[in-house]
Structure 1
Amino acid sequence: MTAILRILARRIALLVPLLLGIVLFVFLVMRFSDIDPASAFYQGANPTQEQLHQFREDNGLLDPLPVRYVDFVGDLIGGDMGISVLTRSPVIDQITTALPLTMQLTFLGLGVAVLLSLPLGVLAAIYRDRLPDQIIRVVSLTGVAAPGFWLALLMIQYLAVDLGWFPTGGYVNPADSFTGWLKTMTLPALALSLPVAAQMTRIVRTAVVEELDKDYVRTAVGSGLPPVVVVGRNVLRNALINPLTVLGLRVGYLLGGAVVIETIFSLPGMGKLMIDAVKNGDPAVVQGVVITTAVGFVVVNLVIDILYLLVNPRLRGTS
């Protein structure tokens, strides 16, 4: 346990410069972009040069870049992400409203990917180079090659428009109707998760095949233990350590893919918030969404690291 705490403390300590680097990158990109916060604030009006200058002075836009960065970080630590030039409301309020939906979609997609890839990967490994493995290989390779937005459009056309099984878009709060929420989230979650499930199926298969070829498995089966018991009790526990770390990286794909999927299905999450902010030239919202998404990705990977430490006995024994 002491070794785990030491490793965990080092991982957490590395998060500080990583997060500062992310914030610095977003800050510089937004400051050197073509979007002028003063002009965006007066969008639709005809401000004078004096009004633009006064806005820049009041908001610290004329300060040296290092001073503006320090102020920016200080505001973020205090929970201030700025004011939306479009709605004149705090960015943090808009993100607080949109983030829960994106998290629902991301973790639904993650759950679907795990539920599909784990049994398919194990089945392909057990029947390697036989018919079930060949079928799963073709299906998984097709899933890897199919982009999420293309799957989303196909699902809308055939499952929503032609068959009418699901709505074409929109969102229902689960507090109002759980069935309605499930129907509105099923197609987006599938479109988001199927490419990840296809990738993870190949990774799980490879890990399980490597584990099945080890001597202890042959010894256990030769001693009379049922193969199902050997696979379920020993093989899976050892084989799924590496796929677990890869799964953490796939969370980044899910978070990024949610931007496109939410737009296609008209879901009022972080993706739609980001697209609207880009179209309307709202820099505070853009940088707020990007920073929140990046921090979410970092935090999820920290959780995956903790799970990796807990399930890997060899790493638990290191200093």
Structure 2
Amino acid sequence: MLAIARILARRIALLVPLLLGIVLFVFVIMRFSDSDPASAYFQGANPTPEQLHRFRLDNGLLDPLPLRYVHFVGDLLRGDMGISVLNRAPVTQQVATALPLTLQLTLLGLVIAVVLALLLGVTAAIHRDRAADQIIRVVSLTGVAAPGFWLALLMIQYLAVNAGWFPSGGYINPADSFTGWLETMTLPAFSLSLPIAAQLTRIVRTAVVEELDKDYVRTAIGSGLPPVVVVGRNVLRNALINPLTVLGLRVGYLLGGAVVTETIFALPGMGKLMIDAVKNGDPAVVQGVVLTTAVGFVIVNLVIDILYLLVNPRLRSAAR
């Protein structure tokens, strides 16, 4: 445990410059945007040049860029992402309202992707080159090639509109009705997770096949241990390293794909918040959503690093 604590402390220390770099990147990119907060603030009001100048002066938009960056970082450390120029509400408050739904969608999609990948990948590896393996490989290849938004539209058409099994959009809070929440989240979560599940299935199959061909597996089975025990206790533990690596990278796809998925299914999450902000020229909200998503991606990858250490003790020894 002490070794894990030391490694974890080093990883967290490396996050500080990484997060500062992300903040700097987002800050610079947004400053080169065509969006003008002053014009957006007075949208439809025909402001005078003096009013625009006063707004920019009061909000520090005329300060030198380095000074604006220092103020920006200081505001972030206090939890202040700025004020929306359209509805005058704090961006932090809007993000805090939309983020739970996006996290629900992302986590549910992640669970579905992992469960499907493990079931299909291990089944394909155990029945290597037989009918089950061939079918799973074709299905997974199709899933990799199918865009998530196309799957979402197909699900709406056939499972929501034609069959009427699920609603075609909208959101119900789980505190109001867990069954209603599950019904509204099932199609979005599956459309978001299936391409990732297809990729992970192929990787899990390859990793498990490589482990099954090793001497320790044949020795364990030859000594009388049931194959189910050998696969569940030894093979999976050693084969999960590569899938975990890919999973950590694909979480970014889940977070980014949630933008499109939430728009298609009319879910009031981070995706809808950012799309509305882009359409309405509200750079503070866009900036807040991008920063929150980037920080979430970094945190998830830190969690994946911790899982590496738990799954493979050899990594702990190598990292000391």
TM-score range normalised by the length of the shorter chain: over 0.9
Higher deviation after alignment, 178-187 or 304-313: 304-313
User: 2:140 is matched with which residue?
Assistant: 140
User: 2:310 is matched with which residue?
Assistant: 310
User: 1:227 is matched with which residue?
Assistant: 227
Q: Distance in 1 between matches of 2:237 and 2:309?
A: 13
Task: For residue 175 of structure 1, report the CA deviation from its aligned partner.
Answer: 0.8
Task: Render the CA deviation track for 1:208-237: whole Å, top value 9, x for unaligned.
Answer: 011111110011112222211111111111
User: 2:149 is matched with which residue?
Assistant: 149
1:309 is matched by which residue type in structure 2? L
Alpha carbon RMSD of aligned pairs, Å? 0.9
**Which segments of 5 or more consecutive residues in structure 2 lack a partner in the other structure?**
none
| Percent identity between the two aligned chains | 85
Secondary structure of 1:317's aligned partner = helix
Secondary structure of 1:85's aligned partner = coil
Q: Distance in 2 between matches of 1:225 and 1:99?
A: 47
User: 1:193 is matched with which residue?
Assistant: 193
Q: Distance in 2 between matches of 1:233 and 1:290?
A: 40
Q: Distance in 2 between matches of 1:290 and 1:310?
A: 31
2:11 is matched by which residue type in structure 1? R
2:30 is matched by which residue type in structure 1? M
User: 2:53 is matched with which residue?
Assistant: 53
Secondary structure of 1:89's aligned partner = coil
Q: Distance in 1 between matches of 2:255 and 2:120?
A: 24
How many pairs align?
319
Task: For residue 66 of structure 1, report the CA deviation from its aligned partner.
Answer: 0.6
The reply on whether 1:248 has 2:280 as its aligned counterpart is: no
User: 1:299 is matched with which residue?
Assistant: 299
Q: Distance in 2 between matches of 1:259 and 1:285?
A: 14
2:311 is matched by which residue type in structure 1? V
User: 2:102 is matched with which residue?
Assistant: 102
Task: For residue 5 of structure 1, report the CA deviation from its aligned partner.
Answer: 2.1
**Which segments of 5 or more consecutive residues in structure 1 lack a partner in the other structure?**
none
For the 8 Å contact 2:148–2:194, the answer to whether it is kept is yes
Task: Render the CA deviation track for 1:51-102: whole Å, top value 9, x for unaligned.
Answer: 1111111111111111100100100110111111111110111000000000
TM-score of the aligned structures, taking structure 2 as reference length: 0.98
User: 2:267 is matched with which residue?
Assistant: 267
User: 2:85 is matched with which residue?
Assistant: 85
Q: Distance in 1 between matches of 2:77 and 2:173?
A: 31
Task: Render the CA deviation track for 1:293-317: whole Å, top value 9, x for unaligned.
Answer: 1001111111111111112110122
Q: Distance in 1 between matches of 2:229 and 2:15?
A: 40
Task: For residue 13 of structure 1, report the CA deviation from its aligned partner.
Answer: 1.1
Q: Distance in 2 between matches of 1:317 and 1:81?
A: 41
